[in-house]
Amino acid sequence: MSPPSAPGATPHRVVIVGGGAGGLELATRLGDTLGRRGRVAVTLVDRTRTHVWKPKLHEIAAGSMDMSAHEVGYLAQSHWHHFRYRVGAMVGLSRARKEVLIAPFIDDEGLQVTPARAIGYDTLVVAIGSQSNDFGTPGVAEHAMKLETAADAQRFHARVVNACIRAHAQATPLRADQLHVAIIGAGATGVELAAELYRTTREMVAYGLDRVDADKDIQVSVIEAAPRVLPALPPRLSEATEKLLRKLGVAVHVNAKVAAVQAGGVSLADGRLLPAELIVWAAGVKAADFLKDLDGLESNRINQLVVLPTLQTTRDENIFAMGDCAACAWPEANQGQGGWVPPRAQAAHQQANHMLQQIQRRLVGRPLKNYRYRDFGSLVSLGEYSTVGNMMGGLIGGSLMIEGLFARLMYESLYKMHELALHGSVKVTLDTLARLIVRRTEPHVKLH
């Protein structure tokens, strides 16, 4: 690696690709510390211009969250926190020249904003997250929507609002399945979206779309190939969640493998067809295809870059990966049998903290430390109805199921930690107060 910067020398160049749950925290904190003092030159590259914390996407999709109140503009953030921001999608890498290759950035009208370019680094951190995995299921690309970006969430929300307004305005009676929404995948995303959507569609109809009978006309269903909802979480959580979903009237289909998606419905492997106007694919996880062979770096079968416990990629000590796009061993998983750090916001947050210290160590030539994932459990928000979760190991020395207000507070605290890392305590306190006031004076469901 390059030696620490002497006064007047070119500072060590840290390039972070991906300004998500992990990458933006790292860029901000690195900028606030070493960047501010000119010890490193930090550059953040993201394919979009604004950041929204991904676990909030289902709230935007359902219409219960105003995105503009939670969006962070990269350019302003970089100005206030002493890093540089470059827009564009990473598409390749030259390890020999130590350059990240960035595609041209094209705006919504098809005009080129920035050309293709290469950005040089001394330390590269890849933090580009993950996407859902449709496992090649026929019809998903054409007929199902995904919930991977803020734009996806807004598009879905607009379709839900339009579907309800259309149903209210049409002269003919509603078709039987006109307002049915099918969510494929009953992991946290699918289940959270189902509960949130159930509530917001009812509130929306109550705003005057009185030709729609919410109980009769609107149906939300979740479809899961595994025998239970939330298959990655303890069975007690699945039971509590399924019970609540069914009580709300959400149709839950487990052991239901999707064979194909088509316009107007979902075909199951057992031959059944579940009719639906709106279909969301929220199952599976994989990293971007271009990571599969990124200039010789090692990747796994879902395209994640394989990293050492130091978070360095296995074949290049100058390249690190963290968050969902990294395959990082978790030896304590599965009662000590081993596994991989799960793709979760808490892992991205912890790894951002660890990376900050790794870069500090690299600069002064100290040995790097191993990262150890600390599992604090999982929390699932079922909108205003409930929050369920389990708290794990580190906090209580075992696994404990939690529910209700305490679980809600724990769930919110994960987002607050993210906001604190980005903005500091004064701004977060003021923003929280402002949001509470706005919540009291505005409709709870967004209709745009």
Ligand X SMILES: Cc1cc2nc3c(=O)[nH]c(=O)nc-3n(C[C@H](O)[C@H](O)[C@H](O)COP(=O)(O)OP(=O)(O)OC[C@H]3O[C@@H](n4cnc5c(N)ncnc54)[C@H](O)[C@@H]3O)c2cc1C
Question: CB of 2: closest distance to ligand X in angstroms?
Answer: 24
CB 41 within 8 A of CB 121: no
Angstrom distance (rounded) from CA 248 to CA 245: 5
Question: CB of 171: closest distance to ligand X in angstroms?
Answer: 37
Angstrom distance (rounded) from CA 222 to CA 184: 6
Residue 281 phi/psi, 5-degree rounding, is -100, 115
Nearest CB to ligand X, comparing residues 89 and 259? 89
Nearest CB to ligand X, comparing residues 189 and 238? 189
Nearest CB to ligand X, comparing residues 17 and 311? 17
The b/e string for 264-290 (b: 16+ C-beta within 10 A; e otherwise) is ebbbbeeeeebebbbbbbbbbbbbbee
Nearest CB to ligand X, comparing residues 126 and 363? 126
Q: For 42, what's the count of Cα atoms within 13 Å in the CB-facing half-sphere?
A: 31
For residue 127, how many other CB atoms are within 10 A of its CB?
29
H or E segment to which residue 47 belongs: none
Q: Which of 264, 113, 102, 97 is nearest to 182 (CA)?
A: 264
Question: CB of 384: closest distance to ligand X in angstroms?
Answer: 16
- Binding region for ligand X (CB under 6 A): 17-23, 45-48, 51, 54-55, 57-58, 89-90, 127-129, 147, 188-189, 288, 323-325, 343-346, 348
Nearest CB to ligand X, comparing residues 12 and 54? 54
Nearest CB to ligand X, comparing residues 163 and 288? 288
Report angle CA 26, 102, 20 to the nearest 5 degrees: 30
Q: Any idea how long the chain is? A: 448
Question: CB of 119: closest distance to ligand X in angstroms?
Answer: 11
Secondary structure class of 420 (helix, strand, coil):
helix
Question: CB of 183: closest distance to ligand X in angstroms?
Answer: 11
Question: CB of 269: closest distance to ligand X in angstroms?
Answer: 25
What residues have CB less than 8 Å from 56, skipping those under 6 apart? 65, 70, 415
Residue nearest ligand X, Cβ-based: 20
Nearest CB to ligand X, comparing residues 30 and 205? 30
Question: CB of 38: closest distance to ligand X in angstroms?
Answer: 26
| Strand 50-51 with 72-73, pairing | antiparallel
Token pair 């909108």 in the structure block, residue? 383
